[in-house]
Chain A
Amino acid sequence: MTNKLDMKKVKVALERKVAQTYEPAKPAMQFGFIHNNVDCIGCRACEIACKDKNGLPPGPRFRRVMYVEGGTYPDVFAYKVNMSCNHCAEPACLPTCPTGAIWKRSKDGIVDIDSSLCIGCRKCEAACPYGAPQWNPKEQIIQKCNLCVDEIDAGRNPYCVMACMMRVLDIGPIDKLWEGKFKTKAVGPHDETVRQVKNMANPELTKPSIAFVPHRKGKVKS
Chain B
Amino acid sequence: MNKPDDTILNQARRSFLKTSAAGTVLASSSGLLEMALGQKDANAFPYEPYYRDDQLTTVVTSCDHNCGSRHMLVAHKKGNVIVRLSSDDGRYQAGGEFGKDTAAEPQLRACLRGRSYRLRLYSPERLLYPMMRVGERGEGKFKRVSWDEALDHIAKKMVELKTKYGPTAILDQAYAGSSYGVLHKSDQIEGLLARFLGMFGCRTNSWSVPSYQGTTFSSNMTFGTIQDGNEDDAFAHSKLIIMWGWNPAYTFHGGNTFYYMRMAKQNGCKFVVIDPQYTDSAAAYDAWWIPIKPNTDAAMLAGMAHYIFQNNLQDQAFIDKFVQGMDAGTMPEWAKDQESFKDYIMGVRDKIPKTPEWAEKICGVSAADIKKLADMYARTKPAALKASWGPGRNAYGEQYNRMAAAVQAMTGNIGILGGCAEGVGKGWHAESSAYPYDENANLWWASIKSDRWAHCVLNYPNVKREEVGCWPRDDELDGKIPNIKAIFWHGSDWFNQLTNINKEIEAIKKLELVVCSDSTITPSGLWADVLLPIATHFERHDVGLPWYKGHYYIHRPKVIEPMGESRTDFQVYTELAYRLEKLDPSLKDFGKRYNPRADRSYFQNPDATDEAYLVAWWKRVQHHQGVTMSWDEFKRRGVYKFTFDKPHVAFREQIENGVPFETASGRIEIFSTTLAQVTDWKKTQWGYPIPAIPKWIEPFEWMGHPMVKEYPFHMITPHPRHRTHSIFHNIPWLRETFEQEITINASDARRLKLVTGDMVEVWNARGKIVVPVYVTERCMPGVVVVYEGSWMDLDKQGIDRSGNPDFLTKDEPSPAGAFAYNTILVNLKKTTLAHRPGWDSQATSRSFVFRRDA
Binding site for B on A (CB under 8 A): 25, 38-45, 47-49, 51-59, 61-62, 64-74, 76-79, 100-101, 103, 105-107, 112-117, 138-139, 143-146, 149-150, 153-157, 159, 162-167, 185, 188-190, 198-199, 217
Contact = CB atoms under 8 A, between A and B. Distances in A.
Interface stretch (B6-14, B401-409, B455-463, B548-556): B6-14
Contact of B46 (A54, A64, A157): A54
Contact of A42 (B86, B265, B280): B280
B152 interface: no
A100 B736 CA distance: 31
B854 A217 contact: yes
A47 B17 CA distance: 26
A202 to B, nearest CB: 17
Given A58-B733, A167-B259, A154 B84 contact: no
Contacts of B9: 55-57
Q: Could you tell me the dominant secondary structure of chain A's interface residues?
A: loop
Contacts of A188: 262, 265-266
B259 A165 contact: yes
B850 A71 contact: no
Interface in B100-116: 101, 109-112, 114-116
B58 interface: no
Given A48-B116, A69-B776, A163-B109, A146 B41 contact: no
Given A47-B737, A154-B53, A162 B109 contact: yes
8 smallest CB-CB distances across A and B, nearest first, come from A55-B10, A58-B843, A114-B44, A41-B249, A78-B283, A48-B115, A58-B732, A143-B46
Nearest to B116: A48
Number of contact residues on B: which range applies?
A: 35 or more
A51 B734 CA distance: 10
Nearest to B114: A45
A16 B102 CA distance: 50
A78 to B, nearest CB: 4
B778 interface: yes
A66 B12 CA distance: 31
Contact of B28 (A40, A116, A217): A116
Contacts of A54: 46-47
10 contacts: A41-B249, A41-B284, A43-B721, A51-B733, A58-B736, A58-B842, A100-B35, A101-B31, A165-B109, A165-B258
Given A39-B262, A70-B854, A61 B42 contact: no
Contacts of B747: 73
A48 B31 CA distance: 28
Contacts of A62: 46
Given A113-B44, A138-B6, A166-B258, A58 B284 contact: no
B38 interface: yes
Contacts of B778: 69, 73, 76, 78
Given A112-B42, A198-B852, 12 more contacts: A49-B86, A53-B86, A69-B850, A70-B777, A72-B777, A73-B778, A77-B854, A78-B278, A114-B28, A163-B87, A163-B110, A165-B256
A162 B92 CA distance: 14
B211 interface: no
A62 B736 CA distance: 13
B842 to A, nearest CB: 6
A38 B46 contact: no
A103 B851 contact: no
Nearest to A117: B28
B291 A58 contact: no
Nearest to B248: A41
B24 A116 contact: yes
Contacts of A185: 101
A87 B604 CA distance: 53
A67 B778 CA distance: 13
Contacts of B631: none
